[in-house]
Structure 1
Amino acid sequence: MSLAGKVEAERFTQGTPARIAVPVADLCATPGKGRDRQLIWGETITVFEERDGFAFVQADKDGYVGYLRASDIADPRPATHRVSTPATHLYETESFKSADLAHLSFGARVTVTAERQKMWETPDGYIPKKHLRPLDRSFTDPATVAQLFFGVPYLWGGNSILGIDCSGLVQAALTACDIPCPGDSDLQRTALGQELSPDAPRQRGDLYWWKGHIGMLVDADTLLHANAHHMAVAYEPIDAAILRIKAQGDGEVISRKRL
């Protein structure tokens, strides 16, 4: 993989494969400042440069580029499972009473090396069996995945159960269903779904866009979205949301699509 033709630089390299080795890592446009997005445990990246404690990388899942702390990455390791509950813990031993080593968000990718009675063993510790799902068993309903994040605090650029924004929520939901999805709402509008007419019946999973915002229907009358009004992932009647968003100065719905 190379960034030639995508970003400006004096020289280009093919890059080196790596993975995220912390629960949540900020991906920034400038080293150490201004989070654009986040990457979570086990996600794969390509590293193009390391300098002064930071690495310039590209996320394999969506092509997003930016700077991470070099200490947040490690050598690649093939993942076998993903966290399929809102969150879990990585334990030091097979016992849930042992030290918890890390808090892992939904979607975190791990490498299972052995099966124990109640936990899976990984190179980094033990995880309850009920909290993991094999990577080859994808989810089938993005709205079901999105609902796992209900009540999660709103966080600009967030991509984890600790905090998430509107486009991060949609990306988490679609990625878990093996549907490719960009990281930003404007790119999602270009890449996702088929446009619906204003009078088409609404249904679960429909996506609604405003300028700089996206949400997903969980039924014909209810929108689920991470938003700064509630400062959380919240349910809101879709008609009320349309009126409120317009009244606060953010305009009309600009697109409505079905996956």
Structure 2
Amino acid sequence: MPPDSRVHAYDLTSRQAEDALRGQLEGEGWTYFLPRPVVAAARLSLRAKARADAGQVTEALPGEAMELLWEDAHGWAYVRTLHDRYLGWTLTEGLTQAQSGEVLTVTALRAHIYAGPKVSQPMIGELCLGATVNRRSAEVVTEGGRRWVPVGLPGGAPGWVGEATLSPIPEADPAALALRFLDTPYVWGGRSAWGLDCSGLTQLVFGAFGQPLPRDADQQQEFLNVVERPVRGDLAFFPGHVGLMLDERRMVHANATQMRVTIETLGEGDYGQQLAVGCTGFGRWDA
């Protein structure tokens, strides 16, 4: 069986592959590449092919660490997101080098970088839960009772964020965090509160508490420990889908039926009955 092309970089047509696969691929004529460290300068769409009309497979969040495997002649780069080793094509112009200094993680669902320490200043960047920014050496500014932190996105202009966007999440409860995403639009391959898919939601809320999950629903099911009776915080799996249990029957999930994040009760109503019949099992994250 060939390596999983979602996380192992190789192309049978161009005969290009990452150096880690040297000696593992059949045939001759392979060109191997050593990955180069890069970071996402903004929220980047990773696509199945090096085309703007190709389907999105995942997203890289602002400041997220990545690897660049190889580039084509038209401004596209084949990259990997390091936290889950997922692969896709993105425009090279969206990549930059990591900056030195303190790294701050955004805890607000959605936020912006401002040109100056005031809410009336122009917004110069878009942020989301899990994005990272670099702390600049300037002093924190207090304005109108609000504290502004000097930051910068990698490769971007210096700016400011409200300190509240960096406040610690009060309780390590992925289910409670997932509920804050209610009504967020469904976006295939999305990983942020600007739009996400089912496994993007579960990966994002567990990752916020240092509990990493793979990218796709089938990968998450394989990764977790199987349980028979779910409790709050367990994941429920279906063919090509995953949701986060709030208790033994209620589930929050990003779903393409409602085109948003909703709560369903397994076995209740037409949709809930369909989900109950289609459920393939439950999984639990254990350290």
Task: Name segments (4+ residues, structure 1) moved above 6 Å.
Answer: 6-9
**How many angstroms does 1:133 deviate by?**
4.2
CA contact (8 A) 1:242 1:253 kept: no
Provide, for residues 34-87 of structure 1, a one-character-per-residue CA deviation record: whole Å limited to 9, x for no partner.
111111111110112222201111110100011110111111135622111111
The code of the aligned residue for 2:63 comes to: G
Report the equivalent of 1:252: 278
Provide, for residues 176-232 of structure 1, a one-character-per-residue CA deviation record: whole Å limited to 9, x for no partner.
11112111001011112x2112xx3x4210110001000001233321000011110
Task: Find 2:227's aligned residue among 188, 191, 196.
Answer: 196
CA contact (8 A) 1:138 1:177 kept: no
Report the equivalent of 2:118: 95
CA contact (8 A) 2:266 2:275 kept: no
Task: Find 1:125's aligned residue among 140, 159, 169.
Answer: 159
**How many angstroms does 1:3 deviate by?**
5.0
Task: Find 1:105's aligned residue among 92, 108, 128.
Answer: 128
Task: Find 2:81's aligned residue among 35, 59, 62.
Answer: 59
Worse-superposed segment, 89-98 or 29-38: 29-38
**Structure 1 residue 77 and structure 2 residue 102: aligned?**
no
Report the equivalent of 1:143: 175
Structure 1 SS opposite 2:32: coil
Report the equivalent of 1:116: 141
CA contact (8 A) 2:110 2:194 kept: no
Worse-superposed segment, 215-224 or 163-172: 215-224
CA contact (8 A) 1:209 1:254 kept: yes
Structure 1 CA distance for aligned equivalents of residues 90 and 149 of structure 2? 29
**Structure 1 residue 47 and structure 2 residue 68: aligned?**
yes
Q: Percent identity?
A: 27
**Structure 1 residue 5 and structure 2 residue 37: aligned?**
no
Provide, for residues 126-174 of structure 1, a one-character-per-residue CA deviation record: whole Å limited to 9, x for no partner.
000011147xx89622112212211100111111111110000001011
Structure 1 CA distance for aligned equivalents of residues 38 and 258 of structure 2? 36
**How many angstroms does 1:112 deviate by?**
1.5
| Structure 2 portions without partners, runs of 5+ | 1-8, 10-17, 153-157
The code of the aligned residue for 2:64 comes to: E
So what's the TM-score if we normalise by structure 2?
Answer: 0.80
Task: Find 1:156's aligned residue among 156, 176, 188.
Answer: 188
Worse-superposed segment, 207-216 or 102-111: 102-111
Task: Find 2:44's aligned residue among 25, 50, 73.
Answer: 25
**How many angstroms does 1:242 deviate by?**
4.3
- Whose radius of gyration is greater, 1 or 2? 2
Structure 2 CA distance for aligned equivalents of residues 181 and 221 of structure 1? 22
The code of the aligned residue for 2:162 comes to: P
| Structure 1 portions without partners, runs of 5+ | none
**How many angstroms does 1:12 deviate by?**
2.0
RMSD: 2.3
- Relative distance call for 1:156 and 1:177 in structure 2 (3 A) is same
